[in-house]
Amino acid sequence: MEKNVHSIVNSNNVVLDELLDSKLVSFYATCGYLKEARRVFDSIEKKELLMYAKCGSMEDANSVFSSMAVKDINSWNIMIECYLKNFFPDEALKIFTAMLKELKSNSRTMACILPAWTSLSLRDNKLMT
């Protein structure tokens, strides 16, 4: 039975929402599918992180990010991008620098961080004139 549910979810590209995410974490954990439970749980954290960041609540986003047990490249990129979208290029650069201590950047990371460098460069040049 567990394998059937697991197979249906994976093979049918089921669209996950908060209720299904929560039920799947419980189901997978109970049935011993810990890797799958962790994957779904991580996606919940990323959704929450993205929600706060897109709403401009960077303090809440940072709280979720800080409490994440595993920070993958996508979660780092979300934070960098959302700090930028909320006009915090200094914070985006701090997050980028912290990320580099743990992971290598990818092309999306670089696409996210370039506007921060541009913004900071323009700001610094205006201060000098």
Nearest partner of 95 among 80, 110, 78, judged by Cα? 80
This prediction has a pTM of 0.71
Q: What confidence tens digit (pLDDT) does each residue in 61-116 have?
A: 999 999 988 899 989 999 998 898 888 889 999 999 999 999 999 999 999 898 88
Give the domain range for residue 24.
1-70
Do residues 42 and 5 share a domain?
yes
- Count of domains for the chain: 2
Do residues 92 and 81 share a domain?
yes
Which residue do the tokens 């700001």 mark? 123
